[in-house]
Chain A
Amino acid sequence: MINQNISVRLFFSKTGRAKYISALDLITCFQRALRRTDIPVWHTQGFNPHTYVNVNLPLSLGSEGLNESMDIKLTHSIDYDELKSKLNAVLPDDIRITRAAEPVKKHTEIEKSVYSISIDCDFKAFEEFTELPQINVQKKTKKGISELDIKPYTEIAEYEQGFFKLTMPSGCDFTLNPSLFFEAFEKYSGTQIKRLDIVRTGILCRDGTQFE
């Protein structure tokens, strides 16, 4: 039996109400969306065939993403723009496909995520916090809870009171959730963050280029 499958990478934004969809539910959401179209999707060939979708890098619940990606497989190729518009017609309003393309890189090459942060808090305390030489946090790992200095892994750029770019590791080997950074701030300052919007804007590979 010919079991041809063509990989396609879908780039999409996940904003607004959609930021509350968990990574697992997002997969179901895409599978159902694909079933609402006549896109020739490839199904896994096991005992219980299902629509193949793969999230390249899950996004934390509550964060928005502008450049997320998901891989699907087709049984025969169709025009990328057609694919995009067919899917956008059936996806929830707050998930929009921005581009469909042939995958260039492997998801194992992913190293870092770039977030755009908007925060409302005690700015003086926050600025003091970002100047600390060390930021020690408790990180849960498979082996248990371990102490870790996240400062060397945290890059802050383009800071302007309450707005900045944050880059942190995220990949197959090592991932730090940005929430660790903000929880550490609350603990350090003894203050509460009033509002925090985290938007993932980019995903970087080991060679420093965008994941595409």
Chain B
Amino acid sequence: MLKDKLDKILLKVQKPSRYIGGEVNSVVKNKADVTMRFAFCFPDTYDIGMSHLGMKILYSLKNSVPNYWCERVFMPLPDMEEEMRKNDIPLYGLESLEPIKDFDFIGFTLQYELCYTNVLAMLDLAGLPVYSKDRENLFPIVIGGGPCVCNAEPIADFFDLFVLGEGEEVNLELMRLAEEYKKNGGGKTDFLIDAAKIEGVYVPSLYDISYNDDGTVKSITPKCGAPAKVKKRIISDFDKVYTPDSFVVPFSQIVHDRSVVEVLRGCIRGCRFCQAGFIYRPFREKSKQTIVNQVKSLTESTGYDEVSLSSLSTSDYSDIEGLLSDITEYTDEKGVNLSLPSLRIDKFSDEVVNKIKSVRRSGLTFAPEAGSQRLRDVINKNITEEDIFKSCKIAFEGGYSSVKLYFMLGLPTETLEDIAAIKELADKIIDLYYNTPGRAKKAISISISLSTFIPKPFTPFEYEPQATKKEIDVRQIYLLDIIGSKGRRKIDVSWSHYDTTILEAVLARGDRRLSKVIYEAWKNGCKLDGWNEYFKPEIWDKAFITAGLDKAFYANRPRSYDEIAPWEHMDMLFDRQFLVKENIKAHEGKTTENCRDKCSGCGLSKCLGKPCFNYGG
């Protein structure tokens, strides 16, 4: 155990309780009874990782097997990393305080592209070579999961294998296979060939990639019996999917300090920019009873005084009014706050609105994403001005005086007219506020948050170029200009940094050659790239030069429909042709109905062998 060494350094770092484990509901097992040890790594800080629901699910799931022990590992902040290196403390699991290099599995959840250098930093801090080919022993097996796996090519060289899709079942299948290898012996190569036979497992070293002279992918060739297409795993009976009945409760405050219950997976909306809306298909709900039971058991086992419902779009739960009514019956009695992020209140009856108003403390937030109806049709974002005004009115009458609006700049077909519409929308909301009888007696505050559109794989916009810095600058300046300094007293505007955005765009749609760039960037000091205070764009720029690669090639280049994508060998269970059809419709300004009203024919129901919804004949 590293406890003695840790005792010497922990008082020198910020918030030490996050580096020592021992939290309520953390799982400590007797090593003698354990056959497989899994280090579940979240490649960002404790405060962020501990807020992540997926990690809690897989942590509990693995620990529910008596002889498997899963521990949590996070990225230490620079003050802690420095002390660890100075005192020869390798990266350890928070439960046992033992080095993870001696574990059987090291698994990373890959939630966003900007965490990639953290993966390298963590492997290195564990005392392991970062490249898969340099780790000759079978154990520890370094695996990755999460949404980024739909194009894991930029980090393919660092991982032994990836899990595509929902991990609840396949994780245990992999651990059972590894257990056999541990018992009967066998090398890494054989294990990886065997693992590739499990549906949803992608072993990057079993695919040869060749490139055309123009830098695009020429071919992706599987070997040693690996499948030509790796099929995403999904849980078919979602209501029965494994759900933890307790969470590890941290000592220090984290980002989302509350229990979280997942109500549905997938999304019916089909917004054309949204990767989650496509890769988490099909849409599946948990039953009301299951959700209410989970709210109760989590509240009781954690002692949290807040519970939140999680999904891509909770308003699309088929009986949302009934659900909220059942949950509030319990939470009101227990004095527990119910927090409902991303809930649209315009569709609700007054009774439900009143009920949730009493528990909602967070402000009013909308994500119209685009200022004009024309552009919202292009991106298939089904929110109209009327929807926004209706919600605003309800909220203003209830005493709210601040509104937060999220927009994207650089959307396909965007013009300055669409930008002007952002300002017009804000003006209309201001008028509405001052014309609402019974509004709060203070000035309205509107905050507009602008991010830059990032084309992502497995969306209809994966063919689109990202707008260049120059184009984005023009649009930002234009918006600030028309709002004017007087307008900015009521309308606050903030925007994301282009340097971070373009890097995310490159990594999202990049190919395997980018491993070299990530390696160079990390080697020269990049980590925690998602944090403005640690992000070092100039080192990244140098890394691209060293590797002889161009950011614009990956980010700002339109891609033809028949170009072989670096992620062509991933099968997300819907037809790639569907994305082409949707892209064409986008350019025609035509919308696509939501999946519940009408099947859009993405092809996923063919995979399921039945329609996603009962369309009533």
Q: Interface on A for B, CB 8 Å cutoff?
A: 16-18, 20-22, 25, 28-29, 31-36, 43, 49-50, 61-62, 90-94, 195
**Cβ-defined partner of B24 (8 Å) among A50, A61, A92:** A92
Interchain Cβ contacts under 8 Å between A and B, 28 examples: A17-B22, A18-B22, A20-B10, A20-B16, A20-B17, A20-B251, A21-B251, A22-B15, A22-B17, A22-B251, A22-B252, A31-B303, A31-B305, A32-B302, A32-B303, A32-B304, A33-B24, A35-B299, A35-B303, A36-B303, A49-B335, A61-B11, A62-B16, A91-B24, A92-B22, A92-B24, A92-B251, A195-B7
B9-53 vs A, CB cutoff 8 Å, 1 = contact: the mask equals 011000111011111100000000000000000000000000000
Quick one: given A17-B20, A17-B22, A62-B10, are A36 and B301 in contact (CB under 8 Å)? yes
Q: Does A34 contact B17, Cβ atoms closer than 8 Å?
A: no
Q: Decide if B508 is an interface residue (CB 8 Å cutoff).
A: no
Q: Which residues of B contact A49 (CB under 8 A)?
A: 335
Q: Measured between alpha carbons, how far is A49 from B304 in the docked complex, in Å?
A: 14
Find chain B residues with CB under 8 A from A22 CB.
15, 17, 251-252
Q: Which residues of B contact A94 (CB under 8 A)?
A: 22
Contact residues of B between 257 and 304, Cβ < 8 Å to A = 299-304
Q: Give every chain A residue within 8 A of B252 (Cβ-Cβ).
A: 22, 25
Q: Does B8 contact A (CB under 8 A)?
A: yes
Q: For the complex, give the distance between the alpha carbons of A25 and B252 in Å.
A: 6
Complex contact B335–A90 (CB within 8 A) = no
CA distance A64 to B219 in the complex (A): 62
Minimum CB–CB distance for B378 against chain A, Å: 44
Whether B142 is near chain A, meaning CB under 8 Å from some CB there, is no
Q: How far, in whole Å, are A67 and B249 apart by their CA atoms in the complex?
A: 25
Contact with A along B457-471 (1 / 0, CB 8 A): 000000000000000
CB of A24 to closest CB in B, whole Å: 9
Query: In the bound complex, do residue B300 and residue A25 qualify as a contact, i.e. CB atoms below 8 Å apart?
Result: no
State which residues 184-220 of B face A: CB under 8 Å: none
- Tell whether, in the assembled complex, residue A21 and residue B335 are in contact, meaning their CB atoms are under 8 Å apart: no
Residue from B22, B300, B303, B305 having most chain A Cβ neighbours under 10 A: B303
**Chain A residue with the shortest CB-CB distance to B13:** A20
B23 and A92: CB pair below 8 A?
A: yes
- Identify which of residues 299-321 in chain B touch chain A, using a CB-to-CB cut-off of 8 Å: 299-305
A36 to B249, CA, bound (A): 12
Do A16 and B251 touch across chains, with their CB atoms under 8 A apart?
no
* A18 CA to B10 CA, complexed, in Å: 12
Tell me the bound Cα distance from A94 to B20 in angstroms. 12
**Cβ–Cβ < 8 Å partners of B3 in chain A:** 17
Indicate the member of A21, A36, A91 with the most B CB atoms within 10 Å: A36
From known contacts A20-B17, A62-B10, infer whether A93 and B22 are also in contact, taking CB-CB under 8 Å.
yes
Closest to B305 in A: A35
CB proximity of B387 to chain A, nearest CB, Å: 32
Complex interface: chain B residues within 8 A of A32 (CB): 24, 249, 302-305
Find the A residue at minimum CB distance from B19: A20
Q: Complex: how many Å from CA A16 to CA B4?
A: 11
- Point out the residue from A16, A31, A36, A62 that lies within 8 Å of B11, measured CB to CB: A62
Contacts of A18 in B (CB 8 A): 22
Bound Cα distance A108, B19 (Å)? 35
A195: chain B residues at CB < 8 Å are 7-8
Give the Cβ gap from B252 to chain A, nearest Cβ, in Å.
6
* A-B interface, 3 closest residue pairs, ranked by CB to CB distance from nearest: A32-B303, A17-B22, A35-B303
Alpha-carbon distance between A32 and B299 when the two chains are bound, in angstroms = 10
Complex: chain A residue closest to B257, CB-CB:
A28
The answer to whether A61 touches B16, judged by C-beta atoms less than 8 angstroms apart, is: yes
Instruction: Give B300's nearest chain A residue, CB to CB.
Output: A36
Chain B residues with CB under 8 Å of A31's CB are: 303, 305
CB distance from A15 to the nearest CB of B (A): 11
- Bound together, the chains give a CA A34 to CA B335 distance in angstroms of 14
Known: A36-B301, A43-B335. 10 other contacts (CB 8 A): A17-B22, A18-B22, A20-B20, A20-B251, A22-B15, A28-B253, A32-B305, A49-B335, A61-B16, A90-B24
Chain A residue contacts of B301, Cβ below 8 A: 36
* Interface hub of A28, A33, A34, A94 (most chain B Cβ within 10 A): A28
Using CB atoms, name the residue of chain A closest to B16. A20
Q: Determine whether the beta carbon of B22 is less than 8 Å from that of A16.
A: yes
B253: A residues at CB distance < 8 A = 25, 28
Q: How far apart are A21's CB and chain B's nearest CB, in angstroms?
A: 5
Residue numbers in A under 8 Å from B11 (CB-CB): 61-62
CA A204 – CA B43 in complex, angstroms?
Answer: 47
Nearest-neighbour CB distance to chain A for B247, whole angstroms, equals 11
Q: How far is the CB of B569 from the nearest CB of chain A, in Å? A: 45
Cβ-closest chain A residue relative to B28: A93
Contact check, B303 vs A17: say whether CB atoms are below 8 A apart: no
What A residues does B300 contact at CB under 8 A? 36
A94, closest chain B residue (CB): B22
* B251 CB contacts on chain A under 8 angstroms: 20-22, 25, 28-29, 92
Given the complex, which residues of B lie within 8 Å of A28, measured CB to CB?
A: 251, 253
- State the Cβ distance, A16 to closest chain B Cβ, in Å: 7
Query: How far is it, in angstroms, between the C-alpha of A82 and the C-alpha of B8 when the chains are bound?
Result: 38
- Determine the distance from Cα of A115 to Cα of B505 in the docked complex, in whole angstroms: 57
Chain B, residue nearest A91 (CB): B24
**Residue numbers in B under 8 Å from A92 (CB-CB):** 22-24, 251
Bound Cα distance A34, B249 (Å): 14
Contacts of B22 in A (CB 8 A): 16-18, 92-94
Q: Given contacts A25-B252, A49-B335, A92-B22, is CB(A33)–CB(B303) below 8 Å?
A: yes
User: Which of B17, B20, B305 is within 8 Å of A25, CB to CB?
Assistant: B17
CA distance A68 to B20 in the complex (A): 21
Chain B hits for A33, CB < 8 A: 24, 303
Least CB separation from A60: chain B residue: B11
Shortest distance from the beta carbon of A1 to any chain B beta carbon, whole Å: 16
Q: Please report the C-alpha to C-alpha distance between residue A32 and residue B298 in the assembled complex, in whole angstroms.
A: 12
Nearest opposing residue in chain A for B299, CB measure: A35
Q: Specify which of A17, A90, A91 lies most central, judged by the most chain B CB atoms within 10 Å of its CB.
A: A17
Inter-chain contact A36/B20, CB cutoff 8 Å:
no
Q: Which residue of A lies closest to B17 (CB)?
A: A20
Separation in Å of the B47 CB from the closest CB of chain A? 13
Q: How far is the CB of B529 from chain A (nearest CB, A)?
A: 28
A20 to B11, CA, bound (A): 8
Nearest B residue to A92, CB-CB: B24
Residues of A within 8 A of B7 (CB): 195
- Determine the distance from Cα of A25 to Cα of B8 in the docked complex, in whole angstroms: 22
User: Which chain B residues lie closer than 8 Å to A62 at the CB level?
Assistant: 10-11, 16
Residues of B within 8 A of A17 (CB): 3, 20-22
Contact A36 B17 (CB under 8 A): no
Q: How far is it, in angstroms, between the C-alpha of A61 and the C-alpha of B8 when the chains are bound?
A: 13
A21 to B314, CA, bound (A): 36
Q: Indicate the member of A20, A50, A62 with the most B CB atoms within 10 Å.
A: A20
In the bound complex, CA of A91 to CA of B335 (Å) = 21
Q: Does A21 contact B17, Cβ atoms closer than 8 Å?
A: yes
Chain A residues with Cβ below 8 Å from B16 are 20, 61-62
A61 CA / B252 CA spacing, docked (Å): 13
